Structure 1
Amino acid sequence: SKNQYCNNIRSWSLLENGPDNLCLYFDSVNTNQSAQSETWLRIPYDSPRPRIEITMKFTTLDFWNDTNIEFSDIFPYPSRIPETWFHDAVLFVEPNGSFIKYNYRPDLSGGDTSGSPDKLFYALYGSNRGNILTYIENPLPKQSMHYSVCGNYIDIHVNFQPENTPVPANTTFEVNYVCEVFGDSKTSIDELKVIGQKSVASGKLLID
């Protein structure tokens, strides 16, 4: 349904324009204005690698009649043909385990191993364009966070699953995540897994 997309931008602002940071804010609503999505984005100047820091907040203004609230749906490839993809696989690491999903057919979709992690790390690797490393934090662990690789493996879903629907007014779901570009095709899966384990243990993206 078109009412399940908060893609009608209501406002945006440039909060900071250097020299240390570039900071943006924007908010949007769905077609019937029953829900709002807010995004705060920061790009630091002094990071040793390309880096973005994002906070996203979803608020029901009236109601939300879906069992899913998706805040991240990543499609980093130019087409659905695996030969055109820049990365060979995706690595997921959470506090209770990890798994790898490789780019091949037939597809074997993957999901979370522990049910509802409050911290999640994933890496798109290995690529000469750089490996994309992302750390995600759920500041309200009582809200169930779920992630999975799409059935066609063309995108990666990270979302919340409300306990009851419709979700009543003034309910909020919030997430923080940091994304950096690191290494190349020679970066080993063991190194990336260690980065992921350190990150979910410390509560921040730890690369150095």
Structure 2
Amino acid sequence: MQLTKYTHSCVRFDKETVEGRRTLVIDPGTFSETERALDGAHAVLVTHEHADHLDVGAVVAALLQSPDLEIYAPAGIAATLRAEAAAAGAQHTETRVHDAGEGLDVVVAGFSVKGFGSQHALIHSMVPVVANTGYLVDGTVFHPGDSFTVPYGLEVDTLLVPIHAPWSKVQEVVDFVISVRARQAFNIHEGLLNPLGLGLVEGHVQRLGGLYGTEYRHLGSGETVQLG
């Protein structure tokens, strides 16, 4: 399975199956190269409703373009996508756009997907907390969305780490990496940092995560790595 990193929190998985090459995308948001990420996609997972994780227009356009595309998202945003896509003329949205959340356990487009967590991390007491689902893909890669949810009852091989956000600090980022204890980790959610700030945070993650057995490496936008 190949993992391709796009700007901010968008990632794309490609793998060969008995039915041919299949593609799954997580969080095609407005900060990312959504058209490139969604090109040829068979499934999309959305962690939560914020625009940097979900470009509604791009996802609706993808539903119109590909009649086989399936979407999983927390219930509120799934309802919005069904309505927007149906209004735009997409067919069978009720069976193609699914609710996701804690306990999700499905196979979509040849990928196994499990859902963990229920809430976005707290930004401020005056900012409403929205639903957030983290996704484990093929039992190996965990994308937490905007949360530090630690998946339970399993060992994570590859962790996608939210490097920086309005809701986090470096201590929490490092503690998340230490708690999950993945074999390797790559960056997501770094779109608000300049190169100096990014290097500072990643240096802590690499050094301190390494003490607990996690090898951290930065992926640039468009860079692809082979998993497994």
User: Which one has a bigger Cα radius of gyration?
Assistant: 1
TM-score, length of structure 2 as denominator length: 0.27
Q: Using CA pairs below 8 Å that are at least 6 residues apart, which structure has the higher relative contact order?
A: 1
